[in-house]
Amino acid sequence: MEVFKINKPKELSELKKKKKVNLSSGFSTLLASEADEKEEVARAANTSAVSSLFFLQEADLPDISRQQNFARGEDLLAKLKEFKDSLLSGNISKDKLEEIKAKLSFERVKTEDKKLEALLDEIELRAHVELAKYESNN
């Protein structure tokens, strides 16, 4: 009868790390470059929404009307993002559409800040366009 010897577990420092294999073929580099290009395209697509958010965040808000418009813009952008995500996942709910319509139905408070007004006009226009596109397809 043969008896097996039981060893203690090795320390983590004793374990050898696997070395990465450097392939000389161009296929792996081609795949890596394509992945990088796709990431750049995906990042570039969302720059307008991000720049709008940066503008809203950097705005100096001395009065209540500007604060209300600031909150309205942020909320509409968040609702539009949720709408886009639900479109991409295929799980569009009527509640999300109704929330956006309700936000758009309230008239915003006018301010003296022309940049903020123009930005809110763009956000509201984008919301109206996206809702119209969706409703015309369904």
pLDDT at 121: 87
Output the average pLDDT for the chain: 72
Query: What does the pLDDT look like over 49-104, one tens digit per residue?
Result: 666 666 666 555 456 777 888 888 888 888 888 888 888 888 877 777 778 888 88
Contact 56, 120 (CB under 8 A): no
Average pLDDT over residues 19-35: 58
Top-confidence residue, 121 or 27: 121
Residue predicted with more confidence, 65 or 17: 65
Indicate yes or no: pTM above 0.75: no
The HSE-up count of residue 88 (CA atoms within 13 Å, CB side) is 6
Rounded Cα–Cα distance for residues 37 and 109 (Å): 43
> C-alpha distances in angstroms, 38 versus 35, 45, 60, 80?
5, 11, 36, 23
Q: Which of 14-18, 26-30, 132-136 has the highest mean pLDDT?
A: 132-136
